[in-house]
Amino acid sequence: MVKREIKDYICRPFCSFYREGAKEELICGGAQEVGNLMERGVLRVDELPGEKKYFASSALRDGGLETTICRNCAFREEDCDFQAEKSPPDAEPCGGYILLFQLIENGVISIDELKGSNDA
């Protein structure tokens, strides 16, 4: 998945941190994983939800997703309030994480499919 598609399908609709025109060279771990799932044929663009669903911050704290997605994310160390040691209770994760959570909640993908792509 090319960077423009990632911005169009993942960052713009799902990420509250995305800023149009900002030259961000890195993408979050969640967006990378969505791209990996598409490249492997596990997920198609037409399976992506059309809009972001809001979840309570506590509901988003999924140990499997955090372990699988966040551990290697380029933003984790300095820029991620959601993963910070003293995370604010209302901290929101990246758009890729929210999208993956929503896809799992909707039964489109499973946490095992995510773990499988990280083992490869």
Q: What pLDDT score was predicted for residue 47?
A: 93
Flag whether pLDDT at 3 surpasses 70.
Answer: no
Sign of the CA dihedral 98, 102, 103, 107?
A: positive
DSSP for 48-108 reads S-SSPPP--HHHH--HHHHHHHGGG-TTHHHH-STTSTT--TT----HHHHHHHHHHHTTS
Point out the least confidently predicted range of 47-56, 88-97, 98-107, 109-118.
Answer: 109-118
Flag whether pLDDT at 77 surpasses 90.
Answer: no
Domain residue ranges in the chain = 3-119
Phi and psi torsions of 84, nearest 5°: -65, 150
The pair of three-digit structure tokens given for residue 114, joined into one six-digit string: 């995510």
Phi-psi region of 55 (alpha: psi -120 to 50; beta: other; left: phi over 0): beta
3-16 mean pLDDT: 84
User: Quick check: 95 and 19 in contact, CB under 8 A?
Assistant: no
Binned at pLDDT 50, 70 and 90, residue 48 comes out as: very high
| Mean of pLDDT over the chain | 83
Q: What pLDDT score was predicted for residue 116?
A: 67
72-99 mean pLDDT: 83
